[in-house]
Amino acid sequence: MFFVFCVFIVPIIVFVILHLMTREKTDNDMQKTEPMEMCAFCQNDFPINQLLEKEVGTYGRIYCFCRECVEGLYNEFNNIGVKTGE
């Protein structure tokens, strides 16, 4: 039962955090010279070619995730004990 709880709660938390972050993003990216993009998760700037861009939800919003955050999520996911399909 706890596993099921985690599987549903984790994506919801992630989505809420991302949603809040996108709201705060206003005019801060006006003065960028290089194609840098902020990781939606840790909010550090990275060159865009080091980020994973993902369309989230049905609204077509694009979020960028850095390698560390993706790996962190992957490890978290594994720790939950979800079995991936073969």
Q: List residues binding Zn ion (CB under 5 A).
A: 39, 41-42, 66, 69
CB of 50 to Zn ion, least distance (A): 10
Cβ atoms of residues 52 and 63 within 8 Å: no
Tell me whether residue 41 or residue 63 sits nearer to Zn ion (CB atom).
41
Distances (CA, A) of 55 to 45, 64, 82: 19, 9, 23
CB of 86 to Zn ion, least distance (A): 30
Tell me whether residue 8 or residue 68 sits nearer to Zn ion (CB atom).
68
